[in-house]
Structure 1
């Protein structure tokens, strides 16, 4: 039998109307990724029975959980719109998305080609988006990850009857060099930023049941958006905000073409335990500042994203 190659993997997803139930004749969308993905984690336990022959009596199967993260390169539209909507528990309205309280679930499907017309499918029903990360670093692609948790994994050798697969979007990959604009930090003169990271999490949790190997559903905690800003040290202004436990707006645009950009707005970030890093003889002085976004009454959100920006 041929050995499967990772380069043949196709990842697709479809929204679920009912948690954990793959729609009949599903219309899948292809997911753009550079690797990673969920895996099933089995929980087992070993019998502690004492036997005169010194053998182990059994290894019991207690449960299964599914979790992991897909690595991505940032691009406009397609799966990005869907994943942003899912991780924010919100819905696009007039091209504006805010974090909310409406969870969404999907069935994710991974296919690998076994050659000779044979295929292997892993389907992850009851998939929810637990988190999303964004990494912007000088002279680099804009990268990130989409963290998922699923109810269960099932295997198959054929597509779901009647399933269709929409091709992935072809919008270009964004870079930190050419496709980040309008960066504002707490109303200060534009700092010279070397890197910026953003981490979003929904703090999902499993709900195990007696009589089942799988979680009943997923509970969710608070929506949290945190990150780290690294900038060249030019004046006291930015570091003074750290010492003052200051706050302010963080916003920037990301995208490659007019009307194919996102504007990310964190209307109120609070500066955390930042530090000035003097370095050595061959280093620049840097300031590294972790931050946390909190609820802003005017925006009525912690994070707001606008798409289709000129």
Structure 2
């Protein structure tokens, strides 16, 4: 099991400790984390087109994206980017080499979905759908006379929004909205190779609740908008933890 009691801690619990054999053997927990900051980080990207050559995209800046998890569907996501320019190349121009296409299995939302947490506690209701959107509002490339490529990038300000659909069970989440409570919202997914990804809106407010009783013999669904605000301690908005 896992929990996220605050915006800077990820706890993994639930295993009985035993003596190591041999004694003092090394134990390694592998993981990494990314979250938004005020640093402008650009990438060099290229696309190989068979034996014809490459299209290269220097100065690529990621401006947003979305991650969608829904019952009956595989988890999907997309990212948007701005580049300084597009350039044709005959040879590999990257210092990192060409990466092969991914071969891993997709994340399914039966075995792959590991729970939704608010303030580090598991939400006691069944989740039907989660959508997260993040966008660098105001991000743009700027151009000047005398050059075809962009002269620089405007960083923009990150906004994190989304929606959640949950089978209605209690008024706990509705009361949270009425009390204007905020805190971290996290959900964890595991891919086919067993690698876990914890996506966290660091200071979330569940907004605009809509409790829908669709009709006879239909479940009652609670719909909420996810509003991400900067964390009062770190100033960050969105974070992804990866555990190998």
Q: Deviations over 1:124-162 (max 9, x none)?
A: 222111112100001211101011111111234x22368
The yes-or-no answer on 1:159 pairing with 2:94 is no
Instruction: Report the equivalent of 1:205.
Output: 140
Question: Which residues of 2 match residues 1-310 of structure 1 at below 5 A?
Answer: 95-113=32-50, 118-156=51-89, 158-160=90-92, 164-186=97-119, 187=121, 189-203=123-137, 204-256=139-191, 260-281=195-216, 283-298=218-233, 301-308=236-243
Give 5+ residue unaligned stretches, structure 2: 1-29
Larger radius of gyration between Structure 1 and Structure 2 = 1
Q: Distance in 1 between matches of 2:40 and 2:77?
A: 21
Structure showing greater relative contact order (alpha-carbon pairs closer than 8 Å, 6 or more residues apart): 2
CA RMSD after TM alignment? 2.7
Aligned length in residues: 212
Q: Distance in 1 between matches of 2:56 and 2:36?
A: 28
Q: Distance in 2 between matches of 1:142 and 1:246?
A: 28
2:68/2:130 contact within 8 Å kept = yes
1:188/1:237 contact within 8 Å kept = no
Normalising to structure 2: TM-score of the pair? 0.75
Give 5+ residue unaligned stretches, structure 1: 1-92
Q: Distance in 1 between matches of 2:235 and 2:194?
A: 25
